[in-house]
Homo-oligomer: A and B are copies of this chain.
Amino acid sequence: MTQYLSGTLAKGFKILEYLQQHTTATLNEVAFDLALNKTTAFRLLASLVELHYVKKSHQTYTLATNNQLLTQFNPPVLNWVAVPITTQITKKYQVTAYIGILNGPNVVITQVIGFDDDLSEYAKIGSAAPINESALGKAIVAYLPRSKVTALVTQLKSTATKYTLNDQALAQNLAITRQQGYSLDDEESSFGIRCLAVPIMKDGQVIASLGVAGPLTRLKRQRLKQIAHDLQTCRTEIGLQLT
């Protein structure tokens, strides 16, 4: 809280962030643009130079490119927002987690978070399923504007010829999804496999879904509320990192 905020640290980072955006700058520019006294700016820059976060050359300053903190933080794979958070769930329940996004009337799996070293699940990246036949799909569609849902259903009907899509059943299913906060696929896609999913929101809009899939023995019916709760906690943290 503000009670302990160090003004010196705040100003120091302000300068670093400014140099990240501007690549190079003079003392005059830094002081003026950041509304700092030029003496203060001078001293802070001198400190940053001495600490190897900034380089000074011919009276211009640049971010130090060989500073380990600035350039060699976590490898990007670890920054896959879903992975660190979601791995707790995949390990806890020994199931695979997935992220899906909408693509026309289908949902496409775009990220897989396995619970062991088995890479076989990754083959699902890129695979698509109709929105009504997947927990990931229903978790997205349940939170779309009604007009968009209607358009997607129309689109589905024109492509799905092997069966007649039951609008009323789907609408009812989506209402249940909204009510309980998660969508469910109970052996509908694969025998013995249960799937749950929750929407991932950004700025109040659904942009993706997060779900888990696994055998009925691991995703027991009486655990569904707990699992859904964990998924909701997870998607909230993912959502926070997307902003």
Contacts and interface: CB of A to CB of B under 8 A. Distances in A.
Interface stretch (A16-24, A170-178, A215-223, A227-235): A16-24
Contact of A47 (B9, B46, B83): B9
A59 interface: no
Interface stretch (A29-37, A108-116, A160-168, A190-198): A108-116
Nearest to A65: B151
Given A117-B123, A122-B122, A71 B74 contact: yes
Nearest to A8: B8
A8 to B, nearest CB: 4
Contacts of A66: 155, 158, 240-241
A8 B240 CA distance: 30
B76 A126 contact: yes
Interface size for chain A: under 10, 10 to 19, 20 to 34, or 35 or more residues? Answer: 35 or more
Contacts of A152: 65
A126 B114 contact: yes
Given A43-B4, A71-B74, A81 B101 contact: yes
Contacts of A114: 122-123, 125-126
A76 B84 contact: no
A169 interface: no
Given A46-B1, A152-B65, A147 B24 contact: yes
A201 interface: no
B70 A76 contact: no
Contacts of A123: 114, 117, 119, 122
B119 A79 contact: no
Given A23-B147, A155-B66, A158-B66, A43 B110 contact: no
25 contacts: A1-B46, A4-B50, A5-B46, A6-B44, A9-B48, A16-B69, A20-B69, A23-B145, A65-B151, A65-B155, A66-B158, A76-B80, A76-B101, A76-B111, A76-B241, A78-B126, A79-B80, A79-B110, A80-B99, A83-B101, A84-B101, A84-B110, A84-B126, A114-B123, A119-B120
